[in-house]
Each structure stands twice: as C-alpha cells, then as structure tokens.
Amino acid sequence: MPSDIERVIRRDLDQLPLLPAERWVPAPRRASHGVAAVALRTSAALAILALAVVLGSALSRVRTEVAERGAVTPTASATAPGPIERISRQAALARIRGLSVVNPTITRIEAKLVSRDVLQAADPNLAARNMPGDAAWVVAVSGDVQCSFCIAPPTQPFHSALYLLDARTGDVFATSASAEFWPQGFDALPDDSLAANSQTALVHVVEIREPDLLTVLTDVPAGPGTRLMLRADADTTFSWAAGLAGGTAFSLGELVRNNQIAPGGPVVRITFDPQRRADGTYRLESLLTGALTR
Amino acid sequence: MDSPQDWEGLYRSAVPRVYRALLATLRDPMLAEDALHDAFAQGLRRPPAHGENLPGWLFRVALRRARRRRWPFSALPAAVRASTDELALALDRLEAGRLLALLTERQRALVVAHYYLGLTHAEAAALFGVRPGTVSATIAQSLARMRKGASHAL
C-alpha cells in the first residue's frame, strides 16, 4: 500500500500546474546599494541631524523666554501618563480608513475588540506575529482591497481584508486579504468592547439630539413603552442596511444627514448596556438602521 | 555558490518540485508562492551549506516562513476560504490532493518530503529538527489515515 500511495503522490503532484516562470522569484526591489545610494542616505541623515539641532536650539530659547515670563511649569501629576488604555473603535476604524492606497473603496468596515486568548484559538500562529498586547482591534473591510504585502500581484482580486491592530496603540501588526466579499471568520468573533449583558432590541426613534443622544421607545428593559435615552460614544457602531446591501456610518449625524434615521421613522435595531448611568442615559453600543429590510 | 546568479540558477532548478510540494502541503497557492519567494530571499542572504539537499532545504525554509506569514483566522472553521483559484481546485481534483487533505499540515509536510521530494527519514528528521523515529511514526500514521480514506479509491 505505501508504494501505491507513493505512486499516487508522485503521479498526481507532478500534474499540478506551475507558476509562470516570471513569478518564480520575487519582483526585484529598487537597488539600495552603490555609492550614490549610500551618499544619498548619508546626506539625508546629516540634513535631519542639522534640522534637529536647529529646532532644538529654537525650542530651548522659547522655553527660556516662557520661564522668564513666569509661566506655570506643568507639575508631575499633570503630565504623568495615566493608566494604559485602549484606543476607541472609531479610532481603530479611522486608522484603517486612512489606508487609502490599500483600501480605495470601502463599502463596509467593522471592528471588534478581541482578546489574545480568542485570537490565539482562531489563529495558532499568532505568536509568531508577535502580538504586542493582550487585546487587539480586529477590523474587517469590504471593498476593492489592494494587496499591501504581496511580493507578486495576487492571482485574483481581493474584495475583503482583515487588520489586527494593537488595542493600545492602534499599530497594525497583522493583515490578510481575501477574494471573498466579507471575511467570514470575523462574524464568529466575540466583541469584548460590548457589555457582558448587552441587550438588543428593535426600537422606535422618538428624538435625536446630535451629536450623541438618542431617545427611543422599546419593550426592554422595563416592559412595553419604555422610554430610553441612549448616548453614543467613540466605541459605538453605526451601520445601515437596505435589502441585501449594507454599509457603515461613522456618526449619528451621518445617518441623520443620509435620511437613514429620523424620529417617527422606521424601527432601528440597537444594542445597549442595560446599566443605567448617573445622567440617566444608557450606553449605545450599536445602531443598525433599516433593520427590517435585511 | 559564488554569486546571486548562481543561487538563482540552483533555485530555479528546484522550483517545480518544491512549489508543488508546498502547494500540496499548505493547500494555499498564494501562501505557497509567498513562502517560496521568502525561501529564495533567505537563500540570497544565507545560502544553504554546500552539499545540502536543496529541494529539502527550500521546502523547510518555505514552510517555516509560511507559518509566520499565514493569514489570520485560517484555523477558524467559518473562515475556511472557498478559494476559486485554479491551482487549489486542481489539487482538490487530484486523488493525491484528496488523500493529503485527510492529514494535518505536519503530516502532509513529512509525507510530501518523503514520498515526493524523496528525502529519507533521516534527511527529513534532520531538516525538520525531529528524531528519525518521529518521522517514521508520523509517516506510518499518515499512511494509515490515507489508507483508510483511500479504501475505495486505490
């Protein structure tokens, strides 16, 4: 039997089509050697050094002048860094939206805060990518994605991508792209930015007070006709659906301006933290308009 | 090996077998291509020792690089990409492709190294940094699994 398997493996693998010969080696990179290149780099380094010296001297003079005028010197408590925190969802989304070369047309973008343990289970090779912290924002993008890491042009166009960002700094430490229109694994991931007992409900919008306040009528958490005041923050997700189509908005105001939400309009789907806050509001975690069209 | 041109010549002579071995092991054409390129670059920086089995060396380096390069969420069941790539489809159409799909990636790597690249158990063990007994046991387990899967096919 081993000889049969050996024969099958040899026979079949030899039938696999090969890459075109021009793709056997990586595309040549721009030459970085030679006297001219070294001279250019040296000149640039010296110019930066000189600029740093000039700017440093200028700033030193300014500091002296300010001190002589009796300006208040910041105290240690005012300047000491606070506890390490994570960047917000909107900041994570903004980082990826800013990659305009990679993502010239984004039709949908979502982010989830995911712990190291969950990522490790999803991707056993994560350790090799040196995940910098204990949590990451996983950002999923749908659109025409260009490959930022391919040595050779991809064999098929990419329509979606995933980016892993260090939750503390927002630095991208891993990325992937796919021909699918939405990275399927993304939907299976939990989102640690949501409250453990988050509630989801279809609600009627009663009032919108930009930039962040929404009053709705709902059946939860206190029975039919409950009036809730919801406050959005930098972690709130805004999205819209219209039939099979859907997309992302980046603020309550954007949904209002696009006539995708209005007082007395169609119901919307919300997820919120049921913990009532001191100002009487509840934290709005996500808002999906056109909820009944999907 | 005196020059990059020498290395490229040697590398090109090994590409057909190594690329197919990578494709059969990784089951991902793009990852196989990228890993192969990485191995080429590695050889430019630090070529294999004189007399080393070149296809085996390229295969090992490329596999190692592929593990670092692998796209996130490859292990998520829901994230198994339904690749439409011709190469991936070609692999699935082949009997060997279907048999190898029954194995883990590590098992595939050793089976392909032994049966396709022609490495002995000792050579495979040295390349992958395991004991020859481990290679033998792994290949035996792999054969058993493939034999079970192929009971109707072979």
The model's pLDDT over A71-87, given as tens digits with 9 standing for 90+, comes to 444 333 334 344 448 89
What confidence category does residue B58 fall into, taking pLDDT thresholds of 50, 70 and 90? very high
On whether the CB atoms of residues A183 and A138 are closer than 8 A, the answer is no
Of A28-32, A184-188, A229-233, B79-83, the range with the lowest mean pLDDT is B79-83
CA angle B147, B153, B154 (to 5 degrees): 65
Which residues of chain A neighbour B73 with C-beta distances below 8 Å?
A: 122-123, 162, 176, 183, 185-186
Do the Cβ atoms of B75 and A180 come within 8 Å? no
Q: Has residue B28 got a pLDDT over 50?
A: yes
Q: What is the pTM of this model?
A: 0.47
Q: Do B8 and A186 touch (CB under 8 A)?
A: no
Residue A147, pLDDT score: 62
A·B CB contacts under 8 A? 144
**Would the pLDDT of A35 be above 50?**
no
Question: Residue B96 and residue A8: Cβ atoms within 8 Å?
Answer: yes
What is the CB neighbour count within 10 angstroms for residue B112?
Answer: 27
Domains in chain A (CATH in brackets) are 89-188 (3.10.450), 199-290 (2.40.50.320)
Q: Quote the pLDDT of residue B55.
A: 92
Q: Are A270 and A287 in contact (CB under 8 A)?
A: yes
Task: Say whether A62 sits in a helix, a strand or coil.
Answer: helix
C-beta atoms of B68 and A151 within 8 A: no
Q: Which residues pair with A138 in a beta bridge?
A: A112, A164
Q: Which residues of A touch B72 (CB under 8 A)?
A: 119, 122-123, 126, 138, 162, 164, 174-176
Question: Residue A125 — pLDDT band, cuts 50, 70, 90?
Answer: low
- Indicate yes or no: CB of A16 within 8 angstroms of CB of B24: yes
Locate A225 and state its tokens.
């006709």
pLDDT at B72 over 80: no
A46: left (phi over 0), alpha (psi -120 to 50) or beta: alpha
Chain-centre distance for alpha carbon A236? 13
**In this complex, do A188 and B79 lie within 8 Å of one another by their Cβ atoms?**
yes
Looking at the complex, report in whole angstroms how far the Cα of residue A129 sits from the nearest Cα belonging to chain B: 6
pLDDT digits (tens, 9 = 90+) for B125-154: 988 888 999 999 999 999 999 888 776 544
Of B15, B72, B115, which is closest to A10 when you measure between CB atoms? B115
Average pLDDT for chain A: 73
Cis ω on the peptide bond leading into residue A190 (within 30° of 0)? no
Task: Return the residue of B nearest to A23 by Cα.
Answer: B33
Inter-chain residue contact B96 with A4, CB threshold 8 Å: no
- Say if residue A38's pLDDT is above 70: no
Q: Which fold has domain B4-153?
A: Butyryl-CoA Dehydrogenase, subunit A; domain 3 (1.20.140)
Torsion-angle region of A96 (φ positive above 0: left; ψ -120 to 50: alpha; else: beta) = alpha
Quote the CA–CA distance of A8 and A12 in Å, as a whole number: 6
Cα–Cα distance, A265 to A208 (Å, whole number): 11
* CB pair distance less than 8 Å for A26 and B41: yes
pLDDT at residue A70, as a whole number? 43
* Set of chain B residues whose Cβ sits within 8 Å of the Cβ of A2: 143
Average pLDDT over residues B68-95: 51
